[in-house]
Every structure is written in structure tokens, then in C-alpha cells.
Amino acid sequence: DSGVTQTPKHLITATGQRVTLRCSPRSGDLSVYWYQQSLDQGLQFLIQYYNGEERAKGNILERFSAQQFPDLHSELNLSSLELGDSALYFCASSIGLAGRGQFFGPGTRLTVL
């Protein structure tokens, strides 16, 4: 157990819908990262927050957004869902800003029908 928690574990929804994925980092970690894992793209970095502020952005679609709250938990919002958004979404956390020692949560499996 990495100490990073994610909910829900599974999510099934329809195209055009909006979903919210939630992540709680390990105790003491200030950075939260979101990654997408799909069969054809592998593990791709989406976005990083550090102590409530966005710090790095990857190949995140405009339909996707995230935030980190004062208690340091984070949410990833996915809207106008398409079939191709079906993937595993992982949250990771680390103590600092530089990304050393990232520990991953168990992931949320999103299925868009």
C-alpha cells in the first residue's frame, strides 16, 4: 500500500458525460500528479499540483481540468467524454516539487460507452 488513495476504483459512463476522480496523497506529501494509462499511449503525465498551485502540465486535453484543495487532496475533472478517454487514471504524490520519489495510487478505471 503506497498510502495514496483514489476513488472510485471503477467508473462507467456514457459519451458526453462529465466525471470527477478523487485522490488523497500520502501524509506529508505536497505534490499531486495525474497520469493516464491507455493501451496505445502507455503512461502519460497530465498535470502536477504543488501545495494547491498548478506547477506542470503535460498532454492534458482542454476538456480535462484538475485542482488541489487546501487539505491537499486533488480532483481530476473529465468532461464531454469520448470513447477514447477510456483508460486508467493514476494519481501519484511526492514530498517536494521536483518529482523525486513519486508514489502511485491504485488508479481509477474509466470506461466510456
Which positions lie near another protein, rule CB under 8 A?
2, 4, 31, 33, 35, 39-45, 48, 50, 55-56, 58, 90, 92, 94, 96-107
Looking at beta carbons only, is 31 or 74 nearer to another protein? Answer: 31
**74, 67 Cβ separation under 8 angstroms:** yes
- Percent helix, percent strand, percent coil in the chain, to nearest 5: 5, 55, 45
DSSP 22-35: EEEPPTT--EEEEE
3-state secondary structure of 84: helix
**28, 89 Cβ separation under 8 angstroms:** no
Q: C-beta of 44: minimal distance to another protein in Å?
A: 8
Looking at beta carbons only, is 79 or 97 nearer to another protein? Answer: 97
Looking at beta carbons only, is 19 or 90 nearer to another protein? Answer: 90
Q: C-beta of 107: minimal distance to another protein in Å?
A: 5
Looking at beta carbons only, is 74 or 102 nearer to another protein? Answer: 102
Q: C-beta of 27: minimal distance to another protein in Å?
A: 16
Q: d(Cα 15, Cα 59) in Å, to the nearest integer?
A: 21
Q: C-beta of 12: minimal distance to another protein in Å?
A: 16
